[in-house]
Structure 1
Amino acid sequence: MNDDTVLPPPPPGGPGDGASHLGPPRFDPYTGQPLAPPPEAPRFDPYTGRPLAPASEAPRFDPDTGQPLSPPSTPGMPPASNGHRAPRSPRRKGLIIAGFLAAVCLLSAGGAAAVILSKPSAEDKAHDQLKADQKTCHEAVDPTLDALATVDSRLDVGLTMADYSELVGAASVERNRLDEDAVKGIDFCESAVEGIDAALFSYSLTASSWNDCIFESSCDPDTDLDLSETWADDSETMDAITQALEDGEPIDPDSDVGQRIDLVSSLDGIFEDS
């Protein structure tokens, strides 16, 4: 045999094989069942003396590409990783960039929307001003308005002349306490005060007529004096005042109530001049 002859590898179990120590299979002398082979003997690198990995852990290679394969994973454990991540595909990179840009746009739009929402419009300012004026007006006129409303409601169930005069006098006291400076410049509130003055003037004039009829021998309040129409007009005036405060709009000067207010204001001016 010359030096170029290639010898075949030794058979398993022969000299130089890591499994040569295993020997022939062994069997249990009592049951006849084959016994597990003894653990594989450790192997060492003949040059460095360092222990070698067991044969079961030897690296494996893909037969088609020649690339190393990941070692098989142990049941219940996550697959082994070689420490390298697979490169992202261009499509995945594009999706990540698009998502980032979309998030930036949403944040920018949200900030702009917040700025827009935080800035009140002219309509919002007008609404807030109206609410503030209504609050100021109610604080000023409600005591007088409540006193007149008491007169109006008591007339529905009947009153004596004495009780009627007392209620009208209490409403007049509240009117004198009304702070006109607080409502100056609030058009609907100034209109409501004019309505209050008209209703109070009418109630007071009715009280005088009723009192005169009682003390006049030729006048019978039950047959000669009918004040129901006048009191109905006064009740209508009270409703118009309440509506003006609720709507924030002055009483319509062309309405029946508006004309009565204008008439009473003219008579009041005449009495002040006389």
Structure 2
Amino acid sequence: MPVALVTGANKGIGYSTAAGLARRGFTVWLGARNQTRGEAAAASLRALGLDARFIELDVTNEESIDRAVEVIGTNTSALDTLVNNAGISTEGANFEFTPPSQLGLSRIRDAFEVNLFGAIAVTQKFLPLLRRSAAPRIVNVSSELGSMILNTSDGNSLGHIEPLAYKTSKAALNMATVMFARELRADGFKVNAATPGLVASDLSGKGNADVLRGRPGFKTPDDGARIIVDLATLPSHGPTGGFFRDGLQTVPW
């Protein structure tokens, strides 16, 4: 049975990704900082007959990552899929963002710690376990808000949304995706970035999912997770080093 780790998996897109992978026959480790919420999320999937396990994991804490590597490594011979889903927005709810010129550096640093440095740290630490897989897959959950081309194209609607920390951290994650994909290509890895699209979630504020759910243009977490699950289970002839939305449609960098 293949094994997957999904970070930030106790709710939202991460939870839906874990569920989607488990339905495809994976043993899925749900990474979360909060033990109570993480255990509850894993238990809810097990109640559906799925093989889901909680692992305490704070992607901004090196010791936490090391402990997670040790626990998962003790319980399995290899990690087949890593989904770097954990992410935050530090810039307000309901798209009422602080202008770039007024956003404090501490809030920018906080976003980079999770969205970029956390993903890199988890990837680096879990590489030995991933190298033991016959078909290792890494998916970085990015956003089309991090696309330089989409943000600068005439008539594109993304330009007026100005979360400086979130956009720049996801743009940096895209570059990290490209670099890991180049390094690991010869070892059979598939490393890609995914954009779930506009999803009703708590990303930009607690309770935001409830506010946004059902509003025009907003997907459900299950909808957003579809492309992540597809990239996490790519066949050997699948792409690597790309940026994709639902349906394996290429997104411009």
Q: TM-score range by the shorter chain?
A: under 0.3
Q: Judging by fraction of residues, say which structure has more strand.
A: 2
Provide the TM-score with structure 1 as the length reference: 0.25
Provide the TM-score with structure 2 as the length reference: 0.26
Query: Which protein, 1 or 2, shows the higher relative CO under an 8 Å CA cutoff with sep ≥ 6?
Result: 2
Structure with max Cα Rg: 1
